[in-house]
Structure 1
């Protein structure tokens, strides 16, 4: 079930509301209220909650949804903050929500077996590994793939995961299944992204559906979606030079 909020608080509003809630909180926040998840009902719908944890702000709890979205709630589920939580460290704004999401992405990707991804490795030393959720029918995915050889020259390994943009019944899912069912997946991936027809079947067991679900859990909405080694997510196409800089590989 999908779940979306009809509003989004601004950063200033979120910080002010969080401060007010912190001042009014009286209870010990080391444990999450047992019935908080049951109280998280909006417009008659129970939220698809994946986890609830105490936040760094007293009286405020971090609610992680199955969709990958994070929000914050008081102990009764009466007040909700939709947006990122920041900490002011000596005038430097630190996005605590994004930090947590980065850690979560790294842990999720550790659960993906190497045999379930399509890998393009450098001929020499591997200096960095990026995971890319892709769709063979996506124009910007095709543009990104054209530059994979250049990324390999910089020592960057590219690991492809499947994310059919139009869902499991679309053309992207069918093509991705053909890629994963091919004897040579990397060659099939290149052919598909060149717009060439693939030979063979798309009826073998593939991880397409599970990787599509994984992408949704990371709040991926489009392709390509790049996950850097530290868990940062970069939505959309990024030129080689900029990506190399993000990975600290200029030299």
Structure 2
């Protein structure tokens, strides 16, 4: 049976259409257990993956199975959608973005290196970036052409596939062929150079899984660069600037 997907947008659309507030939930459980086990909207159970306390008293971060999230009070009778900021002496700190970064780090750690296409150069890398790429994307081509300089600067590049047009697109088929080749790195370079790959290359490849992961992590275009701390940087970044962002010496 397929999993029911409920988006934050649909949640609040249903609330507006219904014109009602949620009834208070039972208070016998702790707030995380209550929100995880009993959170319902208009009678429909919400698929909650995780609930965690925020620094604000009485406010909880609710993560859905599909990757979306919002904030709720202890019994789920009030919701807040948006980013949570901490206002301290150093300025505003986006706590929501920090949470997203940590989630990306954890999600990427679960992807085995055998399913990535890795370019690390000769020397031990000083930093590693993960890039969701698409062989039909001009800016991905520019980033791919900059890999030798990135490697020279001590930056290893780990590729994951993200066909922008979906899994039925020509780029998805090309990347599946690349990941199935004897040397995926060389095959990707050929694809970025508009060379035709072997049409009969096929295997149990991770392209669809990586595409789904990118969607869950909020990738909307390519290249999408994930820094070691989980921060996502959209688009092409020149090697010198990327090196500075990673805190490496020029």
TM-score by length of 2: 0.83
Per the TM alignment, residue 116 of structure 1 is displaced from its structure 2 partner at its CA by: 0.6
Pick closer, same or farther for the CA change 1:182–1:41 going to 2, 3 Å: same
Is 2:84 aligned against 1:61?
A: no
Instruction: Find the residue that maps to 2:9 and give its secondary structure.
Output: coil
Counting only pairs closer than 5 Å after superposition, residues 79-158 of structure 1 correspond to structure 2 as: 79-158=78-157
Alpha-carbon deviations, 1:139-192, whole Å to 9, x = none? 211121111111111011000011121222221211110010111111101111
CA RMSD of aligned residues (A): 2.5
Aligned to 1:185: 184
| Gapped regions of structure 1 (runs ≥ 5) | 9-26
Per the TM alignment, residue 203 of structure 1 is displaced from its structure 2 partner at its CA by: 2.5
Per the TM alignment, residue 196 of structure 1 is displaced from its structure 2 partner at its CA by: 1.4
Pick closer, same or farther for the CA change 1:85–1:147 going to 2, 3 Å: same
Pick closer, same or farther for the CA change 1:197–1:7 going to 2, 3 Å: same
TM-score by length of 1: 0.83
Aligned to 2:51: 52
Is 2:39 aligned against 1:39?
A: yes
Alpha-carbon deviations, 1:64-120, whole Å to 9, x = none? 234433311122323221111111122521111111111111111111111110011
Per the TM alignment, residue 202 of structure 1 is displaced from its structure 2 partner at its CA by: 4.2
Pick closer, same or farther for the CA change 1:28–1:130 going to 2, 3 Å: farther
Task: Count the aligned residue pairs.
Answer: 232
Pick closer, same or farther for the CA change 1:115–1:138 going to 2, 3 Å: same
Asked if structure 2 preserves the Cα contact closer than 8 Å seen for 1:136 and 1:176, the reply is yes
Is 2:4 aligned against 1:5?
A: no
Structure-2 separation of matches of 1:220 and 1:232: 12
Asked if structure 2 preserves the Cα contact closer than 8 Å seen for 1:162 and 1:176, the reply is yes
Counting only pairs closer than 5 Å after superposition, residues 210-229 of structure 1 correspond to structure 2 as: 210-229=209-228
Counting only pairs closer than 5 Å after superposition, residues 232-247 of structure 1 correspond to structure 2 as: 232-247=231-246
Asked if structure 1 preserves the Cα contact closer than 8 Å seen for 2:63 and 2:70, the reply is yes
Instruction: Find the residue that maps to 1:178 and give its secondary structure.
Output: helix
Structure-1 separation of matches of 2:28 and 2:53: 10
